[in-house]
A and B are shown apart, each in its own frame.
Chain A
Amino acid sequence: MQLQDQTNPSKSEIWAVGGGKGGTGKSFLSANLAIALSNQGKRVLLIDADLGCANLHTCLGIDYPESTLSDLLTGRIKRIEEAIVPTGIADLGLISGAQDILEMANPKYAQKMRLLKQIQELDMEYIILDLGAGTSFNILDFFLIADQGILAVLPEPTSIENVYRFIKSVFYRRFRKIAREDSVREIIARAMDQKNENGIKTPYDLIEQVARMDGAVGEQLKNEMYSFRPKLVVNQVRSKDDITLGFSMRSSCTKYFGITVEYVGYVEYDDHVWQATKRRRPMLTEYPMSSSARGIHKVADNLVHHKQLTIDYLVKTAPRR
């Protein structure tokens, strides 16, 4: 579902971290993945795209900066460079977001695209977006624009349900952008309604129905489904079952949505994380040898090399108690 052209090889790669529910570790993952990459000598820009609820600067132990993403979106400042603040970590810069709702920008789609295009032209290798909670259009659009959309999930029912809802929202948002015909849009809107009477239960049914109305659009939707490959990270893992959950979610998504979800890794529940949080320091710099640090490095490695966990991994890892 990448929207930008693939012609510029030096273009930086955008990762977006989302997943619906609040508190699943999106900011934790964003900050620490960024640090993991910069530790490997990569030039990284971290962007707090949690418009209205920004707190990445706190995770990194820096004060709320003067200029933010909102200022770029509202046009108060023109040059992106002005909004980048150093983090004290080599090769890692931060653009903060708006801290409260009043300052929050509500950018138009084209505006967001333009901004991201500019950001991509900066001399960076990786750009990491912390999307914040929810399924607002801003969040969905940023997720769609990203080269790698990362979903942070906790091994608990509400978080899992939210991730599924997030996936559904993301590609229905995309579908609506493709479908121009009112009649097709109508079908898509109705499919979003759980209790629709057309018998549209799954995205498959939706696509079949659309294909019958308009073959070309149906074909396009199918292609979108194929190219949409969100990455899954299970955070705060406490047991082997929690690790297995990632594989189960991957399978369920394939069977239900017809999409390929890649399980790129998990991070153990680790007291070092809140110890670091309390001190307003990033976990990876404070406790580089901790179990959660190991998880972060593995996830970063899989994302960089486009790899994922395989089921025989479950056999190889001894149960942890």
Chain B
Amino acid sequence: MKPLLEQNFYEVFEISTGATRAQIDQAYELAKKTYGDNSLAAYSLFDSEERKEIIRKIHLAYETLSDENRRSQYDRDLLGLAAPEKPASSVSESVKTAPVVAAPALPKSTGETMESVEIESLTGLDLRQIRERLGIPLQEIANKTRINITYFQFLEKNQFRSLPPSVYLRSYVIQYARLLGLDGDRVADRILWLVEQSRKPDPI
């Protein structure tokens, strides 16, 4: 298993990619119970912030997996799974031609589009949020870029001091940002600036 940060929606629910709708609903109910406020099972392992984070991720996963169209798109685009049997009419043109993890794949209903992200004020936390909105597991980015996943984890947690030297980092960030459909150069400029700030000696 992988840390929550890297889990895809199926892993979040601990179900197989072939799970039925009923199984997804059951897993959703169980997960809400398990990480909710009155849970006996989770409180001693996760503090309330962490549980909120898990719950957030659970809702996010359910939004996609409970919607047949979004789920099959997710399966195809992100997990590379063969599309399940379904009438051709339900597969829209944009879905068929959607490039892997491109911004247009974002459902309009979330009210959040790429344009609304202000790159000038963006931090690692925003990157993570964008990535999760897109439902892209961090592991997948690591696999595609062949870059050590821990760097992306640091990046998404704003742990800038743990990141590699800027010469390498720039290219890492560019590749990462492009996979999220963002302007790689501009995101890299912003992140490198943040890294530079963090490396300045603390004022006494």
Contact = CB atoms under 8 A, between A and B. Distances in A.
Interface of A: 155-157, 160-161, 164, 202, 204, 208, 212, 244-245, 247-252, 254-256, 258-260, 311-312, 314-315
A242 to B, nearest CB: 9
A260 B109 CA distance: 36
Contacts of B26: 311-312, 314-315
A248 B40 contact: yes
A315 B30 CA distance: 11
A161 B14 contact: no
A157 B40 contact: yes
A212 B1 contact: no
B30 A248 contact: yes
B23 A311 contact: yes
B40 A155 contact: yes
A245 B41 contact: yes
Sort A-B residue pairs by CB-CB distance and give the 6 closest, nearest first: A248-B41, A248-B34, A256-B45, A249-B41, A258-B1, A252-B41
A208 B34 contact: no
B27 interface: yes
A255 to B, nearest CB: 6
Interface string B1-40: 1111000000000100000001100110011011000011
A164 B44 contact: yes
Interface string B34-61: 1000011111111000000010000000
Given A311-B30, A312-B26, A160 B41 contact: yes
Most buried by A among B4, B33, B41, B42: B41
B150 interface: yes
B192 to A, nearest CB: 22
Contacts of A252: 34, 41-42, 45-46
B1 A260 contact: yes
A315 B31 CA distance: 15
A204 B3 contact: yes
B44 A311 contact: no
B45 A164 contact: yes
Contact of B30 (A161, A251, A254): A251
Contacts of B45: 164, 252, 255-256
Q: Which secondary structure characterizes the binding site on chain A?
A: helix
A85 to B, nearest CB: 40
Contacts of A164: 44-45
A258 B30 CA distance: 18
23 contacts: A155-B40, A157-B44, A161-B44, A164-B45, A212-B150, A247-B30, A248-B30, A248-B33, A248-B34, A248-B39, A248-B41, A251-B14, A251-B31, A251-B34, A252-B42, A255-B45, A255-B54, A256-B46, A259-B1, A311-B23, A311-B26, A311-B27, A312-B22
Contacts of A254: 1, 14
A189 B4 CA distance: 24
Contacts of B39: 248
A307 B133 CA distance: 36
Interface in B141-156: 150
A251 B35 CA distance: 9
B187 to A, nearest CB: 24
Nearest to B150: A208
A251 B45 CA distance: 11
Nearest to A160: B40
A25 B41 CA distance: 19
A248 B42 contact: yes
A314 B30 CA distance: 10
B23 A312 contact: yes
B34 A202 contact: no
Contacts of B30: 244, 247-248, 251, 311, 314
A249 B2 CA distance: 17
Given A251-B30, A314-B26, A245 B40 contact: yes
Contacts of B27: 311
Contacts of B3: 202, 204, 258
Nearest to B5: A204
Nearest to A255: B4
A311 B41 CA distance: 16
B44 to A, nearest CB: 5
Nearest to B149: A208
A164 B30 CA distance: 20
